[in-house]
Amino acid sequence: MLVMLAYDLPTQRLQNLMRKEFERLGGYRVQLSIYLFKGEPHEVARVIKYMRRLAARLPGDVRLLPMEESVWEGHIVATALEQNQDSLRKLLELVEVW
């Protein structure tokens, strides 16, 4: 299971704090302010609980998005056309359109 951290915090100091704490828990950077943590469901729950407590004291927007690995594998990178087609195909396997 995965949990994605995305944030929009007003200062570099707060951004560094959020990044360092998430990385200390085992998360890794995907983009400038998007991080992933991969673990068992109980580990993901522990990370979410800790990060929610930390984020509650900060101004700004902090989001934690738990997801199955298949959801992440189906994401679309809009600037990578070749990868985009493969990701879109995987995503469409998971989505029912009516």
What percent of the residues of the chain are helix, what percent strand, and what percent coil, each to the nearest 5?
A: 50, 25, 30
51 with 76, same domain? Answer: no
- Express each pLDDT in 44-65 by its tens digit: 999 999 999 999 999 999 999 9
Is the confidence at residue 4, as pLDDT, over 90?
yes
Are the CB atoms for 5 and 66 separated by under 8 Å? Answer: no
Domain co-membership, 12 together with 37? yes
Kindly report the pTM of this predicted structure.
0.73
| Top-confidence residue, 67 or 95 | 67
HSE at residue 70, side-chain half, CA atoms within 13 A, is 7
pLDDT confidence of residue 70 = 86
Q: Residue 41 and residue 44: Cα distance in Å, rounded? A: 5
How many domains would you assign to the chain?
Answer: 2
Identify the domain containing residue 89 by its residue range. 70-98
As a whole number, mean pLDDT of residues 77-81 equals: 63
Quick one: 15 and 63 in the same domain?
yes
